[in-house]
Amino acid sequence: MRLTLHGKNVEVTPALRQYVEKKLSKLEKYFEFPLKPQVVLSVQREDHRVEITIPLNGPILRAEVETGNMYASVDGAVDRIERQVRKYKTRINRKARQVNDPLLIRENQFANNVPADEEEPRLVRTKRFTMKPMDVEEAILEMNLLDHDFFVFTNADTDEVTVVYRRRDGNYGLIEPEV
């Protein structure tokens, strides 16, 4: 494993580094290749945040946990990553059974020892709506009126489908397609 570990407003002590490495090492059993996790530890006021990103060949595993204790945040983030691996494994196994291809799992570089016992969420509703062109401020207003966390609209300035979303810090973000 090639761990990249950074601290923001916190000193990454050898004990903390060792704890993170130990917790992340339990994920290695799920993969047949070395992992390259990127971990950011940060402290703001009383909140200890851990952000873990593990790029794979295709998907990216990412977890972010904030608690009052750095070690508890590490535990929570690693647990979330492990749940993502299980869900992904379940999805791959289901696809392999559908196309009757037992090698599909190996192509996605997952080891065969990942438990796949969790029920995967399923699509239960489809919505259709007309997207009228509007500017970003109008889309934010519409999102807030609907009390949603995101809103899809046609940007009047670019004539592209755009997404505005509410960030955890209370601000807004914009997702625009790259052409």
Segment 7-21 shows an average pLDDT of 94
pLDDT at 8 > cutoff 70: yes
| Average pLDDT, rounded, for the chain | 84
What the block records as the tokens of 3 is 């761990």
Q: Is residue 5 over pLDDT 70?
A: yes
Average of pLDDT values for 56-62? 81
Cα 177 from chain centre:
19
d(CA 87, CA 64): 17
Task: From residue 106, give the alpha-carbon distance in Å to each of 24, 97, 112.
Answer: 22, 14, 8
* pLDDT surpassing 60 at residue 173: yes
Most confident of 4-18, 52-66, 110-124: 4-18
At residue 112, does pLDDT exceed 60?
no
What pLDDT score does 102 carry?
Answer: 53
Mean pLDDT of the 101-112 span: 50
- For the chain, domains (ranges, CATH) are 4-107 (3.30.160.100), 133-175 (3.30.505.50)
Whether 176 contacts 155, CB under 8 Å: yes
Beta bridge partners of 7: 41
Separation CA 14–CA 5 (nearest Å):
11
Averaged over 130-154, what is the pLDDT? 90
The token pair that represents 8 in the structure block: 């923001």
